[in-house]
Structure 1
């Protein structure tokens, strides 16, 4: 069930006000319902029975007998039953006899097929919660899981206190088991020393070790790498890299680590002993893994910097060499043309001048860069020396890992040359010439440079790894275990809908490719595309649609009727419809201030303002409360669930169906300006400013269904596939079957994995005229296409790697690995790996199929461009919401950057949802007034409009207007009473 549809599950009563949309979505009576009620109850009892039944069906629990009934719900029920309108607004007034209330509830249970929550069901739920607690981040998350489990199995949901008690009991039992695991893994005495060390002050500093570890990395610089490695060294001295905490789920460790990150050390020191032990141990372990990831990412960028500097030096040297060579050649020419000298003297003098020209220009640019990198020995050696405290592991025979081990041995000898009796491991062919130099010192410098580049490549492809890391783990840890795969592979194949043999999957693809090639040849004959004498494709531009005045006039009229709006009013209206604030807190807010703090946290994360700036714009709320709420909504999954609620709400509005069927989408990155002091920032090649990447997936109905922060200038194919896979996992959503991306969002491997996961990756390719069609060797191709066809697809490679490829896809579907991580591991650094080869060759086939359709069918090409342009329109709205840059001190932690991306996407979805709702209402009113509005006009009008929204100024929230809907006053009073 989607997050939006969950908002009424487990509630005891309904808000005093309810929208018509909510009634239609969750409390509607069908014809069968009306007939059943009419047959069972007499005329004056039908309304009360119907209310009991629709509430029980929507919430999974009986309605409180003192609850009020919204007038919209009463009117809807009366209209469905064709009875006179009832104005009474509480159940107490509907039921003069309590026995009648119980009879109606009993009938509703029987009619809906609901079961009582008996002792057997309690035991089953306790078992389910015990499993769910292994990964739950908070007891509130377990409470939601419990309500969903009961609702899905048609079991009456008990009161919130009983559900909370069951969730808390399961959570505490798991916490006790974690404490026992940690005590065994570390040892009692060592654990006591670890906790004492965490709270102790660092030498020559007034900062505790916990505070020091919590300090995020600064800007990209060698000093930042040094500090990160110092923290890793300190944690390894504690033995954190040896703690056997694998029985505890990583998500669980992260959840406990976040608690320590959010609190001051003095607050952590005052909590209960068992919980404190678990939190501190998990914090230290997770911090070690995250710091290792940071160090390796920073080291990778540092090696890139050194390589780039070497290339710049070579380029400058080549330019100087060219100038010198030209000058000497001109001088030699003058000498040869000097008739005053004999020919012998001229030749000798000219030869002397030409002998001064270096032979370096005959070497390739890449070989000169490698030599220049080896000459930069001081920086290269310092870079490798800094990594010596990281425990690298690798596959047998991996070149990078073998070179690292050899370098470590040389470094331990504290020498600067290769001893004559020391045998160096094999290096790449490109490095052989300089590594095998006769000079021992030159050999050492060249070997260091080769080791640095080879180790980086091995880490990227996964043939070398670090056990105390999250991102750079061993490949086997990302896959279903071999023993499990051998025994369950048939079930995984069935779940994925894939055949056991590769040829069964490839046969329809190859048959389709023959048809597509013939269709493309016919399109070329008809002049829809041209294959020039230069052996390149020449595609005519897509003709624009006929410009119509009516869609533009309709758009202006619609938004004129909508009028201007303040951002606080917009946010509260969407919250009242979707309850995204409940998703952010994992419960309903209990007071006005708590609700305002949540809104303030959303603005502080999702805009270019900070907590202090937002606090000054919201009267009555303090910046400290906003900062606390900012940390609360960083909990894993909360912003994602809130986004799902708003996106699904926007998707269900009637007008959204005119924009698409929900099965297509687009994905692209937006560069968000950032400080140059943010270590993950990169230079945006377009605007030449430092920026962080925000990658968003936009549905054809305009809503954002996934977001993720990424690093600029890196391939985006992994996150493109990851977003659709995460969205499609929910069974009740409309599955996305086509995703349009640009060139950066696609690789052959990504196209293959996307197809095996059940959707098509469709790129708008750059340099399309230079693209070739790839077919299997010996495959027949129409003569007209022969010049743009390459026979470079190996069916044998796909067959050989088919089982491992499906194993990778099954691991992604099972949640063992993310699609982004898998595609990153199968990038260009993995060339030569059988798994990479299988995925790459399958992707070549799929790309050829796509190119044939893209080139031969103009309407298909137009659809891809339309989807991508829709995403670009959303980017304009996103820039209006976040007009500045990410502050210098923010975004250094991965969790904080995820929160920035999620909050920004949520604000974007809120604006899109509000505009869609208002557009739907205005269009309906205009049609009722007799104004002709064609559906074709509405299809060309989108909700990514923002000129009528005031994003700045004083934020005044009319909380009392929506208090009955958004705030749980009863829970707030109970908390205040217990505190008193």
Structure 2
């Protein structure tokens, strides 16, 4: 890596000190409190200079630098320092008139705090320290922050702009070359040969195996699962598993893996051997993990699809036989009645009976009734057994994957080993005492033959279904995978947890284990008591015959002034082409600076800016590069592909979008619509034409045979999208609520969050509570929700009929330490939140930790529902915020117009690229609209019109029909 290939993250590059404007009193006291010694030192200066000295002294100690613009500091901090110094409040901070005076002040402050200047000697020490750190495979992003902390600890003034960055990049460039060589030397000749073979298109193939290993899996079918099992087997045969124990830092492996996937085989073969082999080794290590995760998902999808189709066939047969059964019953009943009514003195002969009843019809009716009886009792199982031969085509190899089980689930592993022995010929038949407790109900009547022996087809099919469930819950896992490891393998390791345990309780602001029961009980009683006081005045709810009855909330009337103003604003917004809008917003926010390659260097190809904007539009509108190149003069397909390959990716889109959100938050007009502390999340479905493992059936909108994906977005009360995720439509949306909240990289400090019914579970209630978010979903059929109390012996007055069950608070107390461990792991993002939530959800009720989370969630849910039914402003807040999110869905439909608004790619990375570009463009339109609407309102006020903030709060910031997303782009010169 050359010096100009440094890869510092743009958000962590050296920037001038960003002075805090939004902070808590605790943070101010922590960072800006003066000691007695400080006050004594400051008192040596003239009175009108003391506040300036106090600011510079505190800033040097806090940031390692002096402040150039002291009047940019928050007035709260300035007056907090004034109070400590006994000085009167001030609007501005007096600064020295002469540079010599400031130099003298700096020298005195350095001497007082024991700081030294950053000179050649300090740089030499820092360089030596950086070399040692870089040899541990630390990336420049992390190393840059560590270097700043190192200099602060050494009491050295941090150097000026770009000095530290250049040093870090230079050291990493040299050191990482050494790491490449070290890693390369560890590879066996056989592994090197295998890597070389991966990069070559073999005879009879159209693509290299390297290309195939980068592909996102298609939907689960026998052939696709077999193909991915073969790829995994080929990967194992390279011997990459032997390297893992000797390898370097996981972050460095992940960086080299991400770098490798950006290149094709031809490009990688051009690198020098050390870098080429190091990159490919890391690529293979990470790809093996990804293959195992993909195989688990493919097995899950195959089984789910098999069950779905079997259920559909069963329902069709049931519907058909139900019609025939009615006729058969009538025939049998008529025949039975005939026999009963036959005269006693007259012998009944068959010939007499057949004269009255059709023999053929009766026999067919009896056959139909037997068939219906079997269909009712064993039909679904029989249909499933018909799928067993298809399952066997891949299951024999799938079961050879390196599975492990958590304690208590050993019988399932025993069954897996028995099947392996049967396949290997070690066992000739299934032992009569083989475990069968895992068998699903549908197969329990079919798994033994008439002699009482276990039938392999039903037993093994039951195992395949049980493995799907066990892999979801984490009872069965793959230690060598990435996401399907053991549950505690997803958490902070024990050493890290114990070292940070005390700080975790403090950061989460949660009580210790010995106080949690009393804290939760007191909190619950206060919440119920408050709801009881509000229950009468709010007529939304009543309790009748021991049940909760709810009225329909009055629909919020939209004042005429709002309707009129919205029409004026919509008519006043000038038409604008989408590329012009993006460029105008970029001029004001500078979001395009975040589009840098993975290596983080600043070089740009020719005509970069125009190509970048065109590439973003090609993704956000769903046009693609071919159609876009035909619509933009001077931009070719190859130029677009190059920019998309190296510059426009999920990470850069997310950072650029956050830049727009941050600067939109600073616009005064944004505050009228909210403070940026409330948000909602919801999924928007899009049809997908391509074959993809992410796609799933969604009959509600797309029928029985069409597949769709969901784009799950988190939208703030200021209409900004701060998180975007492409998801499958199969699982419940609640899995993904925490992902967006925890991965929020904007300055928005979300404290309250709402969803619709699909976004809530009791476990999500519990986790939001532990993480400091107030979760307030809109729950369908609210009156039917089960409510819980914490103490069965306490009388809750009017709510007694509703609180008819008791949450197990004892198990919450028992598992509290583990629950805090999980919450802190989520906060530090040791694994994707949806993976952890899914494990907890699928482990209930067998797992005690999952039960603890569920019972805590029941308590928090009960408190929330009682508040919801008695607090009209809360209901209105929830409804208005969900309306904002749902209204925002119209904008993506408008922009994402090409190919009928349907995804034509099945690759997850490409889907996320389109989705994140779409959110970025949505935020750019929001920013442009907000600025223009603010100008329109200001113009109306200047004309004497009365436009109050209450009216403006109901005005949408997302009108979109004035934005023109299609046509020929860049018609005018830039």
Q: Is the 8 A contact 2:70 2:93 kept in 1?
A: no
CA distance in 2 between counterparts of 1:268 and 1:307 reads 44
CA distance in 2 between counterparts of 1:146 and 1:371 reads 66
The aligned residue for residue 897 of structure 1 is 911
The aligned residue for residue 968 of structure 1 is none
The aligned residue for residue 717 of structure 2 is 700
Q: Is the 8 A contact 1:140 1:587 kept in 2?
A: no
- 1:129 is displaced (CA, Å) by 8.8
> Does the alignment pair 1:542 with 2:553?
yes
- 1:374 is displaced (CA, Å) by 3.1
CA distance in 2 between counterparts of 1:333 and 1:920 reads 80
- 1:381 is displaced (CA, Å) by 2.1
CA distance in 2 between counterparts of 1:345 and 1:789 reads 66
The aligned residue for residue 611 of structure 2 is 597
The aligned residue for residue 552 of structure 1 is 563
> Does the alignment pair 1:622 with 2:636?
yes
- 1:841 is displaced (CA, Å) by 0.5
- 1:604 is displaced (CA, Å) by 2.5
The aligned residue for residue 595 of structure 2 is 584
CA distance in 2 between counterparts of 1:414 and 1:603 reads 60
Q: Is the 8 A contact 1:130 1:171 kept in 2?
A: no
Tell me, what secondary structure is at the counterpart of 1:826?
helix
- 1:444 is displaced (CA, Å) by 0.8
Alignment of 1:851-866 (within 5 A): 851-866=865-880
The aligned residue for residue 94 of structure 1 is none
Q: Is the 8 A contact 2:438 2:462 kept in 1?
A: yes
CA distance in 2 between counterparts of 1:577 and 1:505 reads 52
Q: 1:514/1:326 Cα in 2 relative to 1: closer, same or farther (>3 Å)?
A: farther
Q: Is the 8 A contact 1:235 1:284 kept in 2?
A: yes
- 1:174 is displaced (CA, Å) by 4.0
Moved more, 805-814 or 636-645: 636-645
- 1:561 is displaced (CA, Å) by 3.5
Moved more, 939-948 or 679-688: 679-688
Tell me, what secondary structure is at the counterpart of 1:780?
coil
Moved more, 545-554 or 272-281: 545-554
- 1:408 is displaced (CA, Å) by 1.6
Q: Is the 8 A contact 2:692 2:907 kept in 1?
A: no
The aligned residue for residue 739 of structure 2 is 722
CA distance in 2 between counterparts of 1:267 and 1:722 reads 35
> Does the alignment pair 1:404 with 2:416?
yes
The aligned residue for residue 812 of structure 2 is 798
- 1:168 is displaced (CA, Å) by 3.7
- 1:859 is displaced (CA, Å) by 1.8
- 1:748 is displaced (CA, Å) by 0.9
Tell me, what secondary structure is at the counterpart of 2:681?
strand
Alignment of 1:47-196 (within 5 A): 116-118=117-119, 119-120=121-122, 123-124=125-126, 127=129, 155=157, 157-158=159-160, 160=162, 163-174=165-176, 176-177=178-179, 179-181=181-183, 183-184=185-186, 187-196=187-196
> Does the alignment pair 1:516 with 2:544?
no
Q: 2:463 aligns with which of 441, 451, 454?
A: 451
Q: Is the 8 A contact 2:686 2:708 kept in 1?
A: yes
Q: 1:9 aligns with which of 6, 15, 32?
A: 15
Tell me, what secondary structure is at the counterpart of 1:167?
helix
Q: Is the 8 A contact 1:582 1:589 kept in 2?
A: no
Moved more, 194-203 or 871-880: 194-203
Q: Is the 8 A contact 1:681 1:692 kept in 2?
A: yes
CA distance in 1 between counterparts of 2:497 and 2:567 reads 59
> Does the alignment pair 1:493 with 2:505?
yes
The aligned residue for residue 49 of structure 1 is none
TM-score, normalising length from structure 2?
A: 0.81
- 1:655 is displaced (CA, Å) by 0.8
Q: 1:316/1:576 Cα in 2 relative to 1: closer, same or farther (>3 Å)?
A: same
Q: 1:7/1:215 Cα in 2 relative to 1: closer, same or farther (>3 Å)?
A: closer
Q: Is the 8 A contact 2:257 2:282 kept in 1?
A: yes
The aligned residue for residue 711 of structure 1 is 728
Alignment of 1:234-249 (within 5 A): 234-244=234-244, 247-249=247-249
The aligned residue for residue 267 of structure 2 is 267
Tell me, what secondary structure is at the counterpart of 1:693?
strand
The aligned residue for residue 323 of structure 1 is 323
> Does the alignment pair 1:209 with 2:220?
no
Q: 1:684/1:410 Cα in 2 relative to 1: closer, same or farther (>3 Å)?
A: same
Q: 1:591/1:425 Cα in 2 relative to 1: closer, same or farther (>3 Å)?
A: closer
CA distance in 1 between counterparts of 2:866 and 2:241 reads 52
Q: Is the 8 A contact 1:703 1:912 kept in 2?
A: yes
CA distance in 1 between counterparts of 2:860 and 2:678 reads 18
Tell me, what secondary structure is at the counterpart of 1:204?
coil
The aligned residue for residue 282 of structure 1 is 282
Alignment of 1:335-354 (within 5 A): 335-338=335-338, 341-342=342-343, 345=348
Q: 1:154/1:619 Cα in 2 relative to 1: closer, same or farther (>3 Å)?
A: farther
Q: Is the 8 A contact 2:130 2:171 kept in 1?
A: no
CA distance in 1 between counterparts of 2:262 and 2:165 reads 27
The aligned residue for residue 918 of structure 1 is 932
Q: 1:211/1:832 Cα in 2 relative to 1: closer, same or farther (>3 Å)?
A: same
Tell me, what secondary structure is at the counterpart of 1:764?
coil
The aligned residue for residue 473 of structure 1 is 485
Q: 2:390 aligns with which of 363, 367, 379?
A: 379
Q: 2:672 aligns with which of 643, 658, 662?
A: 658
Moved more, 653-662 or 349-358: 349-358
Unaligned runs of 5+ in 2: 1-8, 18-47, 54-64, 74-90
- Per-residue CA distance 1:300-337 (angstroms, 9 max, x = gap): 10001111222223323333443333222211332355
Q: 1:944/1:219 Cα in 2 relative to 1: closer, same or farther (>3 Å)?
A: same
Q: Is the 8 A contact 1:697 1:707 kept in 2?
A: yes
Give RMSD over aligned pairs.
4.2
Q: Is the 8 A contact 1:634 1:896 kept in 2?
A: no
CA distance in 1 between counterparts of 2:221 and 2:242 reads 29
TM-score, normalising length from structure 1?
A: 0.81
The aligned residue for residue 585 of structure 2 is 574
Q: Is the 8 A contact 1:392 1:466 kept in 2?
A: yes
Alignment of 1:640-679 (within 5 A): 640-679=654-693
The aligned residue for residue 391 of structure 1 is 402
Q: Is the 8 A contact 2:631 2:968 kept in 1?
A: yes
CA distance in 2 between counterparts of 1:128 and 1:924 reads 54
- 1:170 is displaced (CA, Å) by 2.0
- 1:949 is displaced (CA, Å) by 1.1
- Per-residue CA distance 1:179-216 (angstroms, 9 max, x = gap): 524643xx332332232222333242253332332344
Q: 1:889/1:481 Cα in 2 relative to 1: closer, same or farther (>3 Å)?
A: same
CA distance in 2 between counterparts of 1:572 and 1:930 reads 33
- Per-residue CA distance 1:466-518 (angstroms, 9 max, x = gap): 13321212222212223443454223222322222164365345543464267
Moved more, 878-887 or 154-163: 154-163
- 1:933 is displaced (CA, Å) by 0.9
Q: Is the 8 A contact 1:706 1:723 kept in 2?
A: yes
Moved more, 354-363 or 558-567: 354-363
Q: Is the 8 A contact 1:578 1:645 kept in 2?
A: yes
- 1:868 is displaced (CA, Å) by 0.6
The aligned residue for residue 752 of structure 2 is 738
Q: 1:259/1:483 Cα in 2 relative to 1: closer, same or farther (>3 Å)?
A: closer
CA distance in 2 between counterparts of 1:499 and 1:125 reads 44
- 1:454 is displaced (CA, Å) by 1.0
Q: Is the 8 A contact 2:735 2:834 kept in 1?
A: yes
Q: 1:695/1:532 Cα in 2 relative to 1: closer, same or farther (>3 Å)?
A: same
Residues paired across the two proteins, number: 885
Q: Is the 8 A contact 1:331 1:353 kept in 2?
A: no
> Does the alignment pair 1:766 with 2:783?
no
CA distance in 1 between counterparts of 2:635 and 2:415 reads 58
The aligned residue for residue 810 of structure 1 is 824
Q: 1:675/1:707 Cα in 2 relative to 1: closer, same or farther (>3 Å)?
A: same
Moved more, 114-123 or 300-309: 114-123
Q: 1:207/1:517 Cα in 2 relative to 1: closer, same or farther (>3 Å)?
A: same
Q: Is the 8 A contact 1:220 1:677 kept in 2?
A: no
CA distance in 2 between counterparts of 1:168 and 1:182 reads 21
- Per-residue CA distance 1:373-431 (angstroms, 9 max, x = gap): 2343212322422413422122244254332222222222288x734567346435745
